[in-house]
Structure 1
Amino acid sequence: MYISTDDIEEEIRNGIPGTEEIVVQYVAGYLMDLDDAAEDEDVIGVARTILDSACPSTSRNTRETQLDNVIKKLAELLKDSLDKREEEKNRSGKTNGLVRLDKVMDLSKTAISTTIGLGEGVDLESVNKGKASRVDVKKLEKQEAKLRAKIEKRARRDLYEGSKLLDQYKKQQTYEEMFMKINPLDAAAASKNKSKDIHLPSIDVSFASNRILSGASLTLAHGRRYGLIGRNGVGKSTLLRHIALREVPIPAHITILFVEQEIVGDDTTALESVLKADVWRDTLMREEAHLNAQLAELDKENDEKRFEDAREEAQTRLAEVHARLADMEAESGPARAAALLAGLGFSELDQGRPTKSFSGGWRMRLALARALFVKPTLLLLDEPSNHIDLNALAWLEDYLQTWPGTLLVVSHDRAFLDAVATDIVHMHSARLDYYKGNFTQFYSTKTERDRNLRKEYDTQMEYRKHLQAFIDRWRYNANRAAQAQSKIKILEKLPEIQPPEEDEIETFKFPETEKISPPVLQLNEVSFGYTPDKILLKGINIDVGLDSRIAVIGPNGAGKSTLIKLLIGDLKPMAGHVTQNGRLRIGYFAQHHVDNLIPNMTPVQFLASKFPGKTEQEYRSHLGNFQISGMTGLQLIGTLSGGQKSRVAFAVLSLQRPHILLLDEPTNHLDIEGLDALMTALSTWNGGVIVISHDERFITTVAHELWVCADGSVTKFKGDVQAYKSLIVSNIKAKP
């Protein structure tokens, strides 16, 4: 009987509910790969030890019962594999110590196997007290420790150091604690007379067993804005985290802030949340209030001499606090915070709302506003454009162009990097390469450099070939031997040139669609609101054909995603009607497409569940059309990167053989190569396309029409994306 990893995982989940998924997957992988275990290893005992340590049951009896039942079922499932393994050991003259006893044995005269897996809380000395056994308790305990160490080492290797990451999560500090630890109060003051440049000539960065950087040079000049680019999975975000936690030795006087996760929502208002982001300002403001209250109480006392020392001490400290607050321009805080929030799309009413009332995307904007408010010496941003609309992006680009400190930003948005970056850092092959200028300049410089390297390499290889041909022809000829020997010396002295790295070119492929007669897809005087008293869209008219290339832009919350859902039929209009061709097939890429993928399935299994009837090789071949190749198609979706998950989602869309593609923020997780592949595929495809996107280059390349969704309407914009962004920035600056 064929047993899969899924069968084992299902038995564990059913038998011990609540077991952490990382443990379930590890035990299943361990039992399925018995060849990796030592010959004398009691694999069932090891599995029990791991499950025992992770069993969520608090009652010992319940835990033992669950473990017994699960281990029994696992032994039955793996009976054939275990029997085969036992036979191979017996043939080789080795056993695992599990021997059937045909007669009573005196333990005092019998060697005890050292592969026994002990559960927690076993007192070896009390168990053997008064018995004839001569078991070396110390030795057995030492062997058990080795076994546990081996289990933990394999778990770390195979599961991306899951236990280590779990420990880090449990030890996670609050934002305030981390801020004060990473950025001491005296850091800003100390930086006044020190260089704010960063130059680390050789750094190593690793994650689990992966070496991300090896002997790389990290050089960041103060006041420069660096765009960090590289392929999905190369380790850009990991590098930012290492810098943020000072695991890379950044000078202590340089303040750092990293925007990575959305803030946790509570009853704090949006404006208060931004003000509290500067922890030292908030701390000093509270201390100032406390000292003022203390002095007011002391002033009420009549015994001047008795309280003179306390009053003098409080006044001295208050003067110090005032000086600190003046240095950090604390008084302008509320006005600066409100301006930042307004630029990122928060109305005056929104700024007074509690943070818990905002969605994840808006909380990410809050996190961004908090970082900009703090004004650290080194600001680290990870894909900031993924979480904001085109309006907020236009403001952010304009704002960052005058950023006074050093900026290191990870982004795949070429237009954003062109607008913001003064330098590009290319992360690849465990090193960092630096280029002056924005992304367009980087691309031009790199292309020219790669061309010259290729030319130099080809020239030398041709010269080597010429020398070798001469040597091979004449080295044994008496008349030409001296010349041949001379050529050999020249060849030996030639410097070794490594072949230049070839850029991996990605391609996406959507199947050609058959023609269908118009009208293909129309909205006629459509109005919609989630409640009758609040109409979101009113009187919308739009006609989509197979030749349509439409980009829908506008602020978040204006109704762009609602428009898409009306087109696909997920929402019904309150007025007007939607017309669809009866043969129409629509492919919809949702903004949160990850929610539609099943994390404990592989891409091949997921495609098979959606479109059954093909062979595994056919599914893998189809995934290859979207660069999910090799073993990646057999990995669990939950372990894939955001870009790889997007590629799986596009592979699913492709199998639907759509006539129209409706794409809601399709560029968020794709790297630059993936974006190029998607743009090329859409430009050459013969179906209709509607996209919601904030990526200027993507919109410009793919779309022929620009429609703005705002103030309850959807209207055609006469101009390009740059003109729209300029209009947005000028309107924001014009507001009082």
Structure 2
Amino acid sequence: MITLRNLTLRRGAKVLLDKVSVTLNPGEKVGLVGRNGAGKSSLFALFNGSLHEDAGEFSIPAQWRLSQVAQHMPETDESATAFVLGGDTRLMELRDELAQAEVSGDGMRIAHAHSDLGDAGEHDAVPRAQALILGLGFKVAELGLPVNSFSGGWRMRLQLARALMCPSDLLLLDEPTNHLDLDALVWLESWLQRYAGTLVVISHDREFLDAVTNVTLHIENNKLTRYGGNYSSFETLRAQQLEQQQSAFTRQQERIAHLQKFIDRFKAKATKARQAQSRVKALERMEKIAPVLAEAEFGFEFKEPANLPNPMLVIGDAQLGYGEKVVLRNVNRSVLAGQRIGILGANGQGKSTLVKTIARQIPALGGTLTEGKGLHIGYFAQQELDVLTPDSNPLEHMVRLARDVGPQAREQELRNFLGSFNFSGDMVAHAVGTMSGGEKARLVLAMIVWQRPNLLLLDEPTNHLDLATREALSVALNEFEGTVLLVSHDRALLRAVCDEFWLVGGGKVGPFDGDLDDYQRYLLDEAKRLREAARLESAAASVVEAPAPQEQRRADAAARQQATARAKQLRKELAQAEQRMAGLQADKDALEQRLSGGLAPAEMAETGRRLKTVTQELEAAEERWLALSGELEALEASA
């Protein structure tokens, strides 16, 4: 177990933890929460040995293996599969040991290396690595591509897969969901739920924490408090504690009443049954934890729009994309005053393309976008630096904004406004390039609020926000009188804010008639849908003209007959592959047994070489079996 006894931890002169004591038991899934700067990352540094306690005692089992995601961007020509496979450090060490043993010709050493490799899972290491890569959203065709060919976000996914590949007793994950879309996030939740070791995770995604953790550690005021249960349980317990503190209770009443007012108002506005239910439940959670929200140091609100055109925007037969590349076709959607729309879809399907086009960042390639008179857009870009200048400070940003966009204001008024977003004192003079991701996100929000928009376009606004700021954003969006279009993998925010959803995928934009639970079920079936769509597209491309009904029936019958024959052939080949695998496994077992006996050095070396050959043939047979199984599964799915 991990034990902290009367432990004090500092960063420089700043005390982060003061005489704290806590125990984490083997196999527990722990969510580490607290405000930015409270000491979460420093506690991780203590766990991984890069930081040491200043006083008290810290102990962790010496034999525990640790895994965590490397924070640097990988630069390598290795294939994605080879890079992730390299995360299994024990396997890599044993492969090196076998290579050295073969060079030396030491039969006993070769035998031991083969035996150790078998224990380390050499036989299925490549399929395990590829399963991790595919689970995190990569395509089969990308498994062999070099790491350097992927963008930064996808390379960080490979770093995550590499950490998951490493056998570990303790897994440390710091914001693992930042580069993931919902389908990859759902897969990661499922993987972590099955993880047998001890997990400690820092995340600002409350639904992710609810899904994977059963213990919560809360850092506040230099203290570390352990709560049994996931993040929602922690919220409830903490709300009860705060209610019992009479001094805090009085201070909270005004803001609780304010929260209750908008909760009641937006519950009454719920119209579409399935989506509305999720939103009502999210607002009921806010009602239950109102003391926690009221205690938060940070809160803000969007100004009432000067006008509300209706419709705000009409998109007609639009083709959207970049340059000559069309990403979305025949888009026909209307955006009305007061709508709360969540935009769903996997990465790369066109969500950001849609938002950037509406935000006037890129032109439509065809069709029309008709804006309502007086439309005023507030746009939060997925990459905050798209709208920030690294060398400028927050005050300079606000001065330029007030001068170029309005409304005009004196410098002191701008300083006061920035102070309401926690940019106080000297912080207004710090260069944006030196600020944290959360501070940049708050500055972008401040700039949007100042402009008094009537349409908010928010593309992943919570990526760098802590939980308290996410709650403040949720409250502000619910009180906003205008229209919201929201792209986010933060399901708690989507549930609390959105009354309806659009689905972006397959080159189209359409309504999604369901809630987020329906969408998660949809995601689990997405791979099958994409395969079917690809098959239909391929079939459509090969048809010059539609055949007559009789010809179509004959063609269908022929296709079914061909599919049946192919399925029969695949089953036969699968049976042969299974038989070959069984034979090779028997040979491998026999050779390993032979190596464990007393053989002469020359005979032992020869047996070792034969074992290596058999092992390679077995791996090839297993890969062949996997390929045949996949083809048969796809064939049966399309039948």
Alignment match of 1:664 (pick from 441, 459, 484): 459
Match of 1:580 in 2: 371
Match of 1:372 in 2: 164
SS in 2 for 1:395: helix
SS in 2 for 1:550: strand
Question: Deviation of residue 731 (structure 1)?
Answer: 5.3
Question: Deviation of residue 281 (structure 1)?
Answer: 1.1
Question: Deviation of residue 733 (structure 1)?
Answer: 9.9
Aligned counterparts of 1:207 and 1:260: Cα–Cα separation in 2: 21
Aligned counterparts of 1:352 and 1:501: Cα–Cα separation in 2: 48
**Alpha carbons of structure 1 residues 453 and 326: separation in structure 2 relative to 1, 3 Å:** farther
Q: Is the 8 A contact 2:214 2:228 kept in 1?
A: yes
Aligned counterparts of 1:631 and 1:399: Cα–Cα separation in 2: 44
Alignment match of 1:674 (pick from 469, 477, 489): 469
Aligned counterparts of 1:597 and 1:662: Cα–Cα separation in 2: 17
Aligned counterparts of 1:203 and 1:321: Cα–Cα separation in 2: 43
Q: Is the 8 A contact 1:522 1:580 kept in 2?
A: yes
Match of 1:277 in 2: 87
2:122 counterpart of 1:330: yes
Q: Is the 8 A contact 1:263 1:366 kept in 2?
A: no
SS in 1 for 2:300: coil
2:488 counterpart of 1:693: yes
2:352 counterpart of 1:542: no
Q: Is the 8 A contact 1:424 1:435 kept in 2?
A: yes
Match of 2:609 in 1: none
Structure possessing the higher relative contact order (Cα contacts under 8 Å, 6 or more residues apart): 2
2:444 counterpart of 1:649: yes
Question: Deviation of residue 599 (structure 1)?
Answer: 3.5
Aligned counterparts of 1:322 and 1:595: Cα–Cα separation in 2: 53
Aligned counterparts of 1:218 and 1:636: Cα–Cα separation in 2: 38
Aligned counterparts of 2:478 and 2:248: Cα–Cα separation in 1: 35
**Alpha carbons of structure 1 residues 551 and 428: separation in structure 2 relative to 1, 3 Å:** same
Match of 2:390 in 1: 599
Match of 2:19 in 1: 215
Question: Deviation of residue 263 (structure 1)?
Answer: 3.5
Q: Is the 8 A contact 2:322 2:362 kept in 1?
A: no
One-letter code of the match for 2:396?
Answer: Q
Q: Is the 8 A contact 2:311 2:337 kept in 1?
A: no
Q: Is the 8 A contact 1:424 1:437 kept in 2?
A: yes
Aligned counterparts of 1:399 and 1:576: Cα–Cα separation in 2: 43
Deviation readout 1:677-723 (Å, 9 max, x if unpaired): 11111111111111110011100111111111111112211111122
Question: Deviation of residue 563 (structure 1)?
Answer: 0.7
**Alpha carbons of structure 1 residues 201 and 322: separation in structure 2 relative to 1, 3 Å:** farther
Q: Which moves more between the two structures, 201-210 or 408-417? A: 201-210
One-letter code of the match for 1:581?
Answer: G
Question: Deviation of residue 732 (structure 1)?
Answer: 6.0
Alignment match of 2:232 (pick from 422, 436, 440): 440
Question: Deviation of residue 383 (structure 1)?
Answer: 0.9
2:564 counterpart of 1:564: no
Aligned counterparts of 1:634 and 1:555: Cα–Cα separation in 2: 39
Deviation readout 1:540-593 (Å, 9 max, x if unpaired): 122112212111111111111111111122222222121123432211101110
One-letter code of the match for 2:519?
Answer: Y
Aligned counterparts of 2:315 and 2:221: Cα–Cα separation in 1: 50
Match of 1:199 in 2: 3
Q: Is the 8 A contact 1:660 1:689 kept in 2?
A: yes
Aligned counterparts of 1:321 and 1:661: Cα–Cα separation in 2: 61
2:47 counterpart of 1:243: yes
Deviation readout 1:406-463 (Å, 9 max, x if unpaired): 11000111111111111101011122110111111111112222333548999xxxxx
One-letter code of the match for 2:333?
Answer: I
TM-score by length of 1: 0.62
Aligned counterparts of 1:281 and 1:255: Cα–Cα separation in 2: 14
**Alpha carbons of structure 1 residues 575 and 420: separation in structure 2 relative to 1, 3 Å:** same
1:142-541 paired onto structure 2 within 5 Å: 197-248=1-52, 250-292=60-102, 294=103, 311=105, 314-454=106-246, 503-530=295-322, 532=324, 535-541=326-332
Match of 2:400 in 1: 609
One-letter code of the match for 1:706?
Answer: F
One-letter code of the match for 1:556?
Answer: N
Deviation readout 1:586-605 (Å, 9 max, x if unpaired): 11101110343233433122
SS in 1 for 2:295: coil
Q: Is the 8 A contact 1:232 1:641 kept in 2?
A: no
Deviation readout 1:143-173 (Å, 9 max, x if unpaired): xxxxxxxxxxxxxxxxxxxxxxxxxxxxxxx
Aligned counterparts of 2:463 and 2:70: Cα–Cα separation in 1: 15
Aligned counterparts of 1:724 and 1:262: Cα–Cα separation in 2: 33
Deviation readout 1:449-482 (Å, 9 max, x if unpaired): 2333548999xxxxxxxxxxxxxxxxxxxxxxxx
Aligned counterparts of 2:243 and 2:310: Cα–Cα separation in 1: 48
TM-score by length of 2: 0.71
Aligned counterparts of 1:511 and 1:706: Cα–Cα separation in 2: 25
One-letter code of the match for 2:80?
Answer: A
One-letter code of the match for 1:198?
Answer: I
Deviation readout 1:221-270 (Å, 9 max, x if unpaired): 11111000001121212221332235345332111122252541321111
Deviation readout 1:328-362 (Å, 9 max, x if unpaired): 21221111111111111011111111111111111
Aligned counterparts of 2:248 and 2:299: Cα–Cα separation in 1: 29
One-letter code of the match for 2:413?
Answer: E
One-letter code of the match for 2:118?
Answer: A
- Structure 1: any 5+ residue segments left out of the alignment? 1-196, 295-309, 459-499
Match of 1:712 in 2: 507
Aligned counterparts of 1:548 and 1:210: Cα–Cα separation in 2: 46
Aligned counterparts of 1:222 and 1:580: Cα–Cα separation in 2: 58
SS in 2 for 1:643: helix
Aligned counterparts of 2:528 and 2:485: Cα–Cα separation in 1: 31
Q: Is the 8 A contact 1:552 1:692 kept in 2?
A: yes
Question: Deviation of residue 630 (structure 1)?
Answer: 4.3
Match of 2:518 in 1: 723
One-letter code of the match for 1:408?
Answer: V
Q: Is the 8 A contact 1:604 1:619 kept in 2?
A: yes
One-letter code of the match for 1:590?
Answer: A
Aligned counterparts of 1:585 and 1:321: Cα–Cα separation in 2: 68
Corresponding pairs, count: 480
Match of 1:71 in 2: none
One-letter code of the match for 1:632?
Answer: M
**Alpha carbons of structure 1 residues 336 and 724: separation in structure 2 relative to 1, 3 Å:** same
One-letter code of the match for 2:165?
Answer: F
Aligned counterparts of 1:353 and 1:361: Cα–Cα separation in 2: 15
Q: Is the 8 A contact 2:42 2:51 kept in 1?
A: no
Match of 1:194 in 2: none
Q: Is the 8 A contact 1:395 1:728 kept in 2?
A: no
Aligned counterparts of 1:246 and 1:321: Cα–Cα separation in 2: 32
One-letter code of the match for 2:90?
Answer: W
1:121-132 paired onto structure 2 within 5 Å: none
Note the aligned Cα RMSD (angstroms): 2.5
One-letter code of the match for 1:269?
Answer: S
- Structure 2: any 5+ residue segments left out of the alignment? 53-58, 251-291, 530-629, 634-639
One-letter code of the match for 2:40?
Answer: K
Q: Is the 8 A contact 2:390 2:431 kept in 1?
A: yes
Q: Is the 8 A contact 2:242 2:248 kept in 1?
A: no
One-letter code of the match for 1:440?
Answer: S
Aligned counterparts of 1:616 and 1:514: Cα–Cα separation in 2: 23
Identity %: 38
Question: Deviation of residue 318 (structure 1)?
Answer: 1.6
Question: Deviation of residue 375 (structure 1)?
Answer: 3.0
